[in-house]
A and B are shown apart, each in its own frame.
Chain A
């Protein structure tokens, strides 16, 4: 029983990280049709920014941790906004060029990060509570998992409120459904594009800081490794569906955790099988719109 609880909560923590990356990916594809292969770079830069804050101001402080989260999210948001305004905006409706430029950017940023911070992982400390455990139904749960889960739940709540309660949220929901009709109502949908990219970048930057505590290190390849699963989550959840991304994040992470433990480390394989099944039998994803 305690093993199941441990796997479940750890899986939720991993799912939280997947969601923080996948939410931006899903919205940017849903609204703009952009498959952003550079999204992982927002996460990596956010993680390094958070680490720089932590090492300069005392990694064991809760205030430092909160500051690193804010800085990580802000850096991710700025990098994402810059990417949209300078590189992506000229390439809407040109999907091949979008893929080329975002793949190129992801490769270039990994090289840049390696040049700045080196190729080896940089180990990170947080408040002492992070390295302790909490007993839950007989299982000893590492505390940092709870932080990731709470942060992702707050981000999901914030995004849902933003989408439901604000005019820009309404524009984004409408744009995911029918972008040209939004334009035909006299709305400059490009502002919504930039906003979605920025929000996605902030979530990824926040995810980067949390991922560095979850895994205990930052490396230039951190974003890329999470991005692969975030893409899988995005497809399984349904492109453009925030709720779908949240549900799929949990499903993918739990499948991965349980398969790794009970099926001889085959977690990644099981996730790919799940992806194939969804593509075969429900190509629009769990909660995506029918094409």
Chain B
């Protein structure tokens, strides 16, 4: 994919810290997201990737500075900063199970002219299932709904949290293709454990450890450095099996 970019950042995060139930989960995190392409936010299980995403949009208590396209947004409530052009695809999809697919999408429409055509082209299955309750969809289909909700609007950046988690390999490919197409029009900050997907999609990588940023740079260069990936992600350079020790550490967090 694209190489490490030096374009003007769309998202600038500095000194971001966050707490859940009094426990610090993100500590003094600073990084930028370029205005084009996909930036991967990587790290072992439990290092604070999801918390960082949630803190960015104020879903958990946080301090620090967040700027979207040069405008400070950390002092705004979640709904307001989202309306400034942030699309959010949460971990575990979080579709509204008792609403239909069509209702899930209508609820997400913020713009006067939502990008229905794009969404219908990317996810034709959802058109056929528009009257179906979202709670009755498969995991992959729910992920499509979750992605579609974010893609409906003309966003400045998308925050996408583990979109391939728990999906079958065929669906992972479909999700990756959808992300690739989406990235052509909007920058994405992507949390992803599947390193093959990261290798395929991401230009830049930000690596967290213990709630802190420990590495930033080109995603490919990072993934090609076997020692670094082993040390920071607990995986082999080919991006597959997590070592038992790393898995244990992740589970303990």
Contact = CB atoms under 8 A, between A and B. Distances in A.
Given A183-B78, A183-B79, A186-B82, A178 B94 contact: yes
A143 to B, nearest CB: 39
B106 A184 contact: no
Interface string B95-117: 01111000100111010000000
A189 B79 contact: yes
Contacts of B77: 183, 188
A181 B82 contact: no
A211 B237 CA distance: 73
A2 B80 CA distance: 60
B83 interface: yes
B222 interface: no
Contact of B78 (A170, A178, A184): A184
B89 to A, nearest CB: 10
B41 to A, nearest CB: 17
A170 B79 CA distance: 17
Contact of A182 (B90, B103, B107): B107
A236 to B, nearest CB: 20
Interface string A181-225: 111111111000000000000000000000000000000000000
A185 B149 contact: yes
A170 B83 contact: no
A170 B107 contact: yes
Given A177-B98, A184-B88, A170 B106 contact: yes
A187 B106 CA distance: 12
B208 interface: no
Contact of B98 (A167, A173, A181, A185): A173
B87 to A, nearest CB: 9
A144 B69 CA distance: 63
A150 interface: no
Given A184-B82, A185-B149, A189-B79, A170 B99 contact: yes
B96 A173 contact: yes
Given A184-B88, A185-B149, A173 B99 contact: yes
Given A182-B107, A184-B90, A174 B99 contact: yes
B226 interface: no
A178 B59 CA distance: 12
A188 B79 contact: yes
Nearest to A174: B96
Nearest to B84: A186
Contacts of A133: none
B208 to A, nearest CB: 21
Contacts of A185: 79, 82, 88, 107-108, 110, 149
A34 interface: no
Measured as residues with beta carbon below 8 angstroms from the partner, the interface class of chain B is 20 to 34
Contacts of A177: 96-99
A184 B158 CA distance: 12
A186 B107 contact: no
Given A170-B103, A184-B59, A184-B88, A178 B79 contact: no
A241 to B, nearest CB: 10
A227 interface: no
Contacts of B126: none
Contacts of B235: none
Interface in A145-197: 167, 170-171, 173-174, 177-178, 180-189
A174 B95 CA distance: 9
Nearest to B96: A174
Interface string A99-134: 000000000000000000000000000000000000
A186 B96 CA distance: 15
B57 interface: yes
Given A178-B96, A181-B90, A184-B90, A171 B83 contact: no
B98 A186 contact: no
Nearest to A181: B94
Please indicate which of the listed interface residues A181, A183, A186 has the most CB atoms of chain B within 10 Å of its own CB: A186
Interface in B46-105: 57, 59, 77-80, 82-83, 88, 90, 94, 96-99, 103
Nearest to B86: A186
Nearest to A182: B107
Nearest to A191: B79
A181 B79 CA distance: 10
B103 A187 contact: no
A184 B96 contact: no
Closest 3 pairs (CB-CB, A-B): A186-B82, A186-B83, A174-B96
23 contacts: A167-B107, A170-B107, A173-B96, A177-B96, A177-B97, A180-B59, A181-B90, A181-B94, A183-B77, A183-B78, A183-B79, A183-B82, A184-B59, A184-B79, A184-B82, A184-B90, A185-B82, A186-B83, A186-B110, A186-B153, A187-B79, A187-B107, A188-B79
Given A185-B79, A186-B153, 12 more contacts: A170-B103, A171-B107, A178-B94, A181-B90, A182-B107, A184-B82, A184-B88, A185-B107, A186-B79, A186-B80, A187-B79, A189-B79
